[in-house]
Amino acid sequence: MYHFFVEKEQVGEQLVTITGPDVNHIKNVLRMKPGEVIGVSERGGRALLCEIESLSGEAVAARIVSEGEGVELPVQVYLYQGLPKGDKLELVIQKAVELGACRVIPVATRRSIVKLDKKKEESRIRRWNAISETAAKQSGRGMIPEVSGVVSFKEALEQTKDFEIKLIPYENARGMARTRELLDSVRPGDRVAVFIGPEGGFEEEEVAMAVEAGAEPVTLGKRILRTETAGLAMLAALGFWMEE
């Protein structure tokens, strides 16, 4: 089933009005017809099951059939991803959105090789957010997670100073029992920051800075994971632990 996002003012008592680029996509790309069923999410609101009633050049009207269950995680997970090489960040964004992250924040760390100038970063941010929107639609999310511009590691720690839980996967962390203990301490409504290093990982001094700022080192197992795998493994673990 295809899934679309609308603003709250586009949702009436019985009908949803879809406008913008999605109209062309529904009519001319998907070639959908009246009677076909689609999923519609208010941004940050309800998930709706709808049946297309009519299609015009500027809008698609869909009748609300039922209200679906919320699909968002009961916690807000912010993925602070150390800048990886190549297009790995695009994969991380796509999969992190599928796994329930509410925001992805690229982070420049000491071992980050990638350096983005301002012009390049602006176009990258647009692309990153387009990837997030596509992944949100594909996975039936109730929101489109924002992908921000690149921040420094110090800025990342400052942004999360009031978060309830801060986790930093690290190969020298204590055993899995401590990781399970920390996951068990997460409560619905908590804001959870996950810090992931780039290729080569964090420097010891950066880990010490994170710990001083309240982050807890955790292990993801006995195997060393690549930067594009570690954050996704942490998100999957949080989802499995918290999903109702």
Per DSSP, the residues of the chain read: --EEEE-GGGB-SSEEEE-THHHHIIIIIS---TT-EEEEEETTS-EEEEEEEEE-SS-EEEEEEEE----S-SSEEEEEEEPPSTTHHHHHHHHHHHTT-SEEEEEE-TT------HHHHHHHHHHHHHHHHHHHHHHT-SS--EE---EEHHHHHHHTTT-SEEEEE-TTS--HHHHHHHHHH--TT-EEEEEE--TT---HHHHHHHHHTT-EEE---SSPPPHHHHHHHHHHHHHHHH--
Residues 6+ apart with CB under 8 A from 130: none
Query: Do 203 and 220 belong together in one domain?
Result: yes
Query: Do 44 and 149 belong together in one domain?
Result: no
Query: Do 61 and 80 belong together in one domain?
Result: no
Query: Do 47 and 108 belong together in one domain?
Result: no
Query: Do 52 and 150 belong together in one domain?
Result: no
Query: Do 203 and 107 belong together in one domain?
Result: yes
Compute the chain's Rg from CA coordinates.
20
Closest CA relative to residue 196, chosen from 237, 167, 161: 167
Please name the amino acid found at residue 95.
Answer: K
Domain of 44?
Answer: 3-67
pLDDT score for 59: 93
pLDDT score for 47: 79
d(CA 66, CA 154): 46
Contact 64, 37 (CB under 8 A): no
Sequential pLDDT tens for the chain (244 residues): 788 888 888 999 889 999 999 999 999 999 999 998 998 888 766 778 889 999 998 899 999 998 876 678 889 999 999 999 888 999 999 999 999 999 999 999 888 876 766 777 888 999 999 999 999 988 888 788 999 999 999 999 999 999 999 999 987 677 888 889 899 999 989 999 999 999 888 889 999 999 999 999 998 888 888 999 999 999 999 999 887 6
pLDDT score for 42: 81
Contact 5, 41 (CB under 8 A): yes
Query: Do 129 and 218 belong together in one domain?
Result: yes
CATH number at residue 50: 2.40.240.20
CATH number at residue 216: 3.40.1280.10
3-class DSSP string for 34-97: CCCEEEEEECCCCEEEEEEEEECCCCEEEEEEEECCCCCCCCEEEEEEECCCCCHHHHHHHHHH
pLDDT score for 44: 66
As for how many domains the chain has, the answer is 2
Query: Do 187 and 84 belong together in one domain?
Result: yes
Query: Do 119 and 230 belong together in one domain?
Result: yes
